[in-house]
A and B are shown apart, each in its own frame.
Chain A
Amino acid sequence: MSGVTRSSQVTILRQDIGHGSAPMSSPRPGGDNAGPAETVEQSLYAKRQKIFPRQVHGMFARLRLLGVVVLMGIYYGLPWVQLGERQAVLFDLPARKFYIFGLVFWPQDFIYLASLLIIAALALFFFTALAGRLWCGYACPQTVWTEVFLWIERRIEGDRGRQIKLDKSPWTARKITIKVAKHVAWIALSLWTGYTFVGYFTPIRELGQAALSLDTGPWETFWLLFYGFATYGNAGWLREQVCIYMCPYARFQSAMFDNNTLIISYDTGRGEPRGARKRGIDPRDKGLGDCIDCTLCVQVCPTGIDIRDGLQYQCIGCSACIDACDEVMDKMGYPRGLVRYTTENALEGKATAILRPRVLVYATVLVGMLAVVGYSIVARVPLDLDVIRDRNTLYRETADGLVENVYTLKVINMDEREHRFQLSTSGLEPASLKLDHETFVVAAGQVREFSARLQVDPLDLARTSSEVFFELRALDEDGLMVREPARFLGPAGAR
């Protein structure tokens, strides 16, 4: 590739970043434009050249390993943590309750799940604007599981060179043994992953006992195998294709980039012209830059790109090329950082502003959302009251000449302990509330339904439909109360 083509490619890619679209995802208007690019994409999607990422050592590799260990530890370990009698984190779908340590969430608390997703999206915006695809490079499950699968592959098949040689070699008994061993290890881990996944929704210890006697429920079995298969397919086979073709975030992440975003870049000015040279000679004498064209940065790349072609849509920001290049620079006795985290502005010799309005706005909104959601979870009243008016009759008159409405009340005690409650009404005076019991008990995490009759003198009714409030108050805890509006219907023109 000549120097001219290279620089023009960099320019094109930079423009793409500015417009928030990437070369691979740009829509092709009209059927007539189906040019070579589309052909390439199709052939890539269906069949691709297998990528054998070379193992890399260095600061960022250690950071990524830390990410893998911590996140995998959380994923595989969390369902086994017990809190008292129950699993600490359990998304009990059959019972429609989510347990997260001391908190119990009900379908009524959906707002928290929605807020959590909004916070996650904001955090993604914030970190992307700050330092590019940090999520993709270190924390995304796709990256993390692929790392683990790559590790298994290396342990069984050997390093990159051996893997390539093995794939090219004919199918001997040895090759079959090695390949079978690898897939068995992958499938075992995938099944354990699927089992853990289902363990977040069904108590994992009971599920384990059921699995040992091959007696899991049909849907549990199905989802265990489904998630296991997804893990095996995504981390074993699809790998970088998930990031390039399937990930929605990858398509729009470049819209959050600007000239002050920290991205992994090759310092073209310092590196070019690239070329091989003997150690110890001054490259300037030979008219060379610092890049020795060892292609290690390409060999370590999990998506198979050349970082020296500029920032590309396929780059997941894993920093493997930084580690690889730094190691080479150390060996050559050149300063590190030919490939490094830097900004467009810095590369062009301009000042970089990390704390810019975009980042500050994302940070402010993020912190604000966190504070609001955090406060509302702390201040949450674990009690809910549904008031449903009897639909069959509008109202009826009692023997004493009072107007009576009948309601079905649903009390949901979302707290972790039982409470004794008392019900009253307000907003329509004087009214008398008829219940079977003065006070009643609802056990922890239970729903109790009962009917109530409300009687009002028709002379006190101003309208045919009046608003009335049902107030439910716990007798054993201050502040545990809810107020629910309802309608009271009566005869027209009573007064």
Chain B
Amino acid sequence: MTSGGGYGTQRLVVVLWPSFLVAGVVTVLVFVLFDPLNVLAQTRYSGVSRLGAYSMGFFCLWLVTAASSWLTCYFQRSPEKVPPPAANNG
């Protein structure tokens, strides 16, 4: 996928940046609806502070949105460009 160094960096930015924006918005919405202290009270993460929960929540959401962005990039490649199975064996 990364024939040139610049191309790989660009792919990374293309995946990370939009997912960062969406993760930020979703983090706000999620934590307006749910107080992390209430959600985590019954779990083994009950010792986590709110600020910690917000931060980790944000990074978890970023991971999820980045995965989605990456899949979009992955499937964007047209089927014709996927190398035939024989090429992989060689």
1/0 contact trace for A1-34 toward B, CB 8 Å? 0000000000000000000000000000011100
Is B10 a contact of A94 with CB atoms below 8 Å? no
Known pairs A31-B81, A96-B35, A248-B21; A42 contacts B55 (CB<8 A): no
Is A110 a contact of B32 with CB atoms below 8 Å? yes
Nearest chain A CB to B13 CB, angstrom units: 7
Please measure, in the bound complex, the distance between the C-alpha atom of A47 and the C-alpha atom of B5, giving whole angstroms: 10
**Interface assignment of A43: CB less than 8 Å from any CB of chain B:** yes
CB contacts (< 8 Å) of B80 on chain A: these are 31-32
Residue of A nearest to B76 (CB): A31
Is A42 a contact of B78 with CB atoms below 8 Å? no
Please measure, in the bound complex, the distance between the C-alpha atom of A31 and the C-alpha atom of B80, giving whole angstroms: 8
**Interface assignment of A217: CB less than 8 Å from any CB of chain B:** yes
Residue of A nearest to B7 (CB): A42
Residue of B nearest to A242 (CB): B17
Please measure, in the bound complex, the distance between the C-alpha atom of A96 and the C-alpha atom of B34, giving whole angstroms: 11
Q: Which of A32, A46, A222, A245 lies in contact with B7, CB distance below 8 A?
A: A46
**Interface assignment of B72: CB less than 8 Å from any CB of chain A:** no
Q: Which of A32, A201, A219 lies in contact with B52, CB distance below 8 A?
A: A219
* Besides A107-B32, A107-B33, A222-B55, 19 other A-B contacts (C-beta < 8 A): A31-B80, A45-B9, A45-B10, A46-B5, A46-B7, A47-B6, A93-B54, A107-B35, A110-B32, A113-B28, A113-B32, A201-B51, A217-B51, A218-B52, A219-B51, A219-B52, A219-B55, A223-B55, A246-B17
Question: Within residues 29 to 54 of chain A, which ones have a CB less than 8 A from any CB in chain B?
Answer: 30-32, 42-43, 45-47
CB contacts (< 8 Å) of B33 on chain A: these are 107
What class of interface size applies to chain A in its complex with B?
20 to 34
Is A94 a contact of B50 with CB atoms below 8 Å? yes
Question: Within residues 219 to 276 of chain A, which ones have a CB less than 8 A from any CB in chain B?
Answer: 219-220, 222-223, 245-246, 248
Please measure, in the bound complex, the distance between the C-alpha atom of A102 and the C-alpha atom of B29, giving whole angstroms: 25
Is A46 a contact of B9 with CB atoms below 8 Å? yes
Give me the interface of B with A, judged by CB distance under 8 Å: 4-7, 9-10, 13, 17, 21, 28, 32-33, 35, 49-52, 54-55, 77-78, 80-81
Please measure, in the bound complex, the distance between the C-alpha atom of A45 and the C-alpha atom of B9, giving whole angstroms: 9
1/0 contact trace for A186-219 toward B, CB 8 Å? 0000000000000001000000000000000111
Is B50 a contact of A93 with CB atoms below 8 Å? yes
- Counting from the closest, the 10 A-B pairs by CB-CB distance are A46-B6, A31-B78, A219-B51, A110-B32, A45-B10, A94-B50, A31-B81, A219-B55, A107-B32, A94-B51
Known pairs A30-B78, A31-B77; A45 contacts B13 (CB<8 A): yes
Please measure, in the bound complex, the distance between the C-alpha atom of A110 and the C-alpha atom of B32, giving whole angstroms: 7
1/0 contact trace for A87-120 toward B, CB 8 Å? 0000001101000000000010010010000000
Is A42 a contact of B6 with CB atoms below 8 Å? yes
Residue of A nearest to B13 (CB): A45
Please measure, in the bound complex, the distance between the C-alpha atom of A110 and the C-alpha atom of B49, giving whole angstroms: 22
Nearest chain B CB to A447 CB, angstrom units: 11
CB contacts (< 8 Å) of A222 on chain B: these are 55
User: Could you jot down 21 A-B contacts, CB within 8 Å?
Assistant: A31-B77, A31-B78, A32-B80, A42-B6, A42-B10, A45-B6, A45-B9, A47-B6, A93-B50, A93-B51, A94-B49, A94-B51, A96-B50, A107-B35, A110-B32, A113-B32, A201-B51, A217-B49, A218-B52, A220-B51, A245-B13
| A30, A46, A201 — most chain B CB neighbours (10 Å) | A46
Please measure, in the bound complex, the distance between the C-alpha atom of A247 and the C-alpha atom of B80, giving whole angstroms: 32
Please measure, in the bound complex, the distance between the C-alpha atom of A245 and the C-alpha atom of B10, giving whole angstroms: 10
CB contacts (< 8 Å) of B7 on chain A: these are 42, 46
CB contacts (< 8 Å) of B77 on chain A: these are 31
